[in-house]
C-alpha cells in the first residue's frame, strides 16, 4: 500500500516520493541490467536513464501493473535503444571517394577559431550552471569537471549514493531546461 501511496505522491511531483521509489527499486533495476550488460558502468547508466524516463512519464503509469515490472520494461527499452545506436554507428557505408577524402585530411588539431568557440561555449555553459541551485551546481562540478565517480561524490558531500544519482539527474534536466529557454 505504501508503494501505491508513494507513486501517487510522485505523480503529483513530490520529490521525497521520487527518492523513495528510486531507493526502493534501484537495486532491482540495476541488478537486472547488470545481468544483461555484464558491465557495471553500462548497467548504472541504463538504470539512471530508466528512472529518468520513468519519472518523466510517471503520469502514464497504469496501476493495474506492478511498478517494478513497468520499470524493468523501460530498462529493457533503454538498453535496446543503446544497442541499436551502437549497431547503427558501427555500420556506416562510405564510398571510395569519401574514404580518399578522409585519408587526405592533413591536420585535425583545432584551429585558433575552434579553440575560441570551445572556450565561449564552455563560458556560456558555466553561466547556465550558475543559474542552478548551489547543491545542483556542486554535483555537476564534481561529476563533470572534477570527473569524480558517483561513490566519490557521495562520500565528499556525505549523502547516500542514491541521493547523488537523483541530484545529478535533476541537475541535468534543469540545466537542459535553462539551455532550451536561452536558445
Where in the chain are the domains? 2-90, 111-182
Each residue's pLDDT tens digit, 163-179:
888 888 888 888 888 88
Q: What is the pLDDT of residue 72?
A: 93
Would you say 6 and 55 are in contact if contact means Cβ atoms under 8 Å apart? Answer: no
- The answer to whether residue 106 scores a pLDDT higher than 70 is no
Burial class (CB in 10 A: 0-12, 13-18, 19+), 25: buried
Q: What is the pLDDT of residue 90?
A: 65
| Within this chain, domains 2-90 and 111-182 share the same CATH topology | no
The CATH number of 2-90 is 1.10.1740.10
Other CB atoms within 10 A of residue 115 CB: 11
- State the Cα–Cα distance between residues 168 and 170, nearest whole angstrom: 5
Q: What is the pLDDT of residue 117?
A: 67
- State the Cα–Cα distance between residues 26 and 150, nearest whole angstrom: 14
Q: How confident is the model at residue 160 (pLDDT cuts 50, 70, 90)?
A: confident
Each residue's pLDDT tens digit, 36-76:
998 888 999 999 999 999 998 999 998 888 999 999 999 99
**Is 49 or 118 the better-scoring residue by pLDDT?**
49
pLDDT averaged over every residue in the chain? 84
Cα–Cα distances in angstroms (integers) from residue 39 to residues 33, 36, 68, 89, 166, in the given order? 9, 8, 21, 20, 21
State pTM to two decimals.
Answer: 0.52
Q: How confident is the model at residue 113 (pLDDT cuts 50, 70, 90)?
A: low
CATH architecture of 111-182: Orthogonal Bundle (1.10)
Amino acid at each position: 500500500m505504501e508503494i501505491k501511496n508513494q507513486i501517487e505522491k510522485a505523480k503529483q511531483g513530490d520529490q521525497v516520493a521520487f527518492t523513495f521509489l528510486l531507493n526502493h527499486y534501484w537495486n532491482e533495476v540495476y541488478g537486472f541490467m547488470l545481468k544483461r550488460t555484464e558491465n557495471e558502468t553500462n548497467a548504472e547508466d541504463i538504470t539512471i536513464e530508466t528512472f529518468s524516463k520513468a519519472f518523466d512519464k510517471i503520469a502514464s503509469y497504469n496501476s493495474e501493473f506492478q511498478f517494478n515490472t513497468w520499470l524493468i520494461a523501460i530498462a529493457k527499452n533503454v538498453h535496446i535503444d543503446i544497442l541499436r545506436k551502437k549497431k547503427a554507428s558501427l555500420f556506416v557505408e562510405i564510398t571510395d571517394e569519401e574514404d580518399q577524402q578522409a585519408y587526405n585530411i592533413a591536420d585535425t588539431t583545432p584551429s585558433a577559431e575552434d579553440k575560441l568557440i570551445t572556450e565561449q561555449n564552455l563560458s556560456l555553459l558555466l553561466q547556465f550552471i550558475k543559474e542552478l541551485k548551489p547543491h545542483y551546481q556542486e554535483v555537476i562540478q564534481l561529476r563533470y569537471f572534477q570527473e569524480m565517480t558517483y561513490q566519490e561524490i557521495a562520500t565528499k558531500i556525505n549523502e547516500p549514493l542514491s541521493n547523488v544519482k537523483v541530484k545529478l539527474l535533476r541537475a541535468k534536466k534543469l540545466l537542459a531546461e535553462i539551455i532550451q529557454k536561452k536558445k
